[in-house]
Amino acid sequence: MQTNMRGRDMITTQEWTKDEIDTIMDVAMDLKRKRAMGVPHAYLRDKVLSMLFFFTSTRTRNSFEAGMAQLGGHAQFIDHQTTQISHGDTGKEIGEILGRYNDGIAIRQCDWGVGNDYIRSVADASRVPVLNMQCDHFHPFQILADLMTIIEKKGDPRGKTINVSYAYAKSYQKPMSVPISLILLMSRYGMNVRLTRPPEFKLMPQYVEQAKENARKAGGSFEIFDDFDKGMEGADVIYPKAWGCTLTTPDLEESAKISQQYTNWIMDDERLAMAKRDAIYMHCLPADRNIEVTDSVIDGPNSVVYDEAENRLHVQKAVMALTMS
């Protein structure tokens, strides 16, 4: 267990050691147990987390607010439209000022080519930890919750096969931050990672190369498939979700037209049967029901999406307790 995390930013898990991530898992499991037993754990009494949202949220906002309350502190919700950001407040000013008012800053900014740079500019200026609630590159807290769920359901991840797959969605061209973060973290835990996507839906090449190197060091494997069914075969964990083909075109309308070629990339019972019998189905939510995944899969016995969503609360509390105390 590592004990030197006070003041650390969480922008991507790739910047934390595996020992440190193991510590997050240990603390998250302990906090989940305490909550189940009604044991108070106000480790952040009188602390304030500033939460700056550029994008709407269900699970992220609620889990951070609930988590801070359970840790004895307060989460301050800020919609960017209620700030002076559009009138000139820069990332430096947000970091300097909110870092002096509060004990942590959490930001959700997913604009392509903007989000990660903005969060890092705030972190460079802030005297308190900056937590990435999702950007255009990374979604670290979702992926920490995913890891916790895999450990709970499957035990040691080493040697297990996870299929991180594109799936069609009609709602909007979603960020690629979840699949990027999945291949980066699961490859560090010795999993056999499959990235399954159509040719137009490539992920950023620097992160693909990092995932390959992670797998080499951890003794797992990393493969890329462009066949939806092939990716499912014999998998222990299946994680099909949509993302935009932003590297092919930054135009969202054109991306949507390209994605319409792949409406048959839907997670259904036939595809589920290709995986191992006890495979778990995961999704960060919200999913486009009966477009991205059928009701029978997402509501079926192999689905762990609600346990996965709950674990957002516990891993976020763990990181906040470790970095903001």
- 202 and 301 share a domain? yes
* Domain limits for position 303: 142-308
**In 3-state terms, what secondary structure has residue 2?**
coil
Supply 157's token pair: 């991840």
In a domain, 66, yes or no: yes
- 127 and 155 share a domain? no
Q: What is the Cα–Cα distance from 281 to 100, expressed in whole angstroms? A: 42
Q: What is the pLDDT of residues 253-264, one digit of tens each?
A: 999 999 999 999
In a domain, 161, yes or no: yes
Nearest to 118 by CA among 5, 11, 243: 11
In a domain, 4, yes or no: no
**Bridge pairing between strands 280-281 and 237-241:** parallel
Q: What is the pLDDT of residues 200-255, one digit of tens each?
A: 999 999 999 999 999 999 999 999 999 999 999 999 999 999 999 999 999 989 99
DSSP letter string, 208-262: HHHHHHHHHHHT-EEEEE--HHHHHTT-SEEEEE----TTT-S-HHHHHHHHGGG
Strands (E) across the chain are located at 48-53, 74-79, 104-109, 130-135, 161-166, 192-196, 221-225, 237-241, 280-281
- 24 and 162 share a domain? no
Q: What is the pLDDT of residues 122-139, one digit of tens each?
A: 999 999 999 999 999 999
In a domain, 6, yes or no: no
Nearest to 319 by CA among 1, 6, 46: 6
- 169 and 299 share a domain? yes
Location of structure tokens 């895999």 = 150
CATH number at residue 181: 3.40.50.1370
- 148 and 237 share a domain? yes
In a domain, 8, yes or no: no
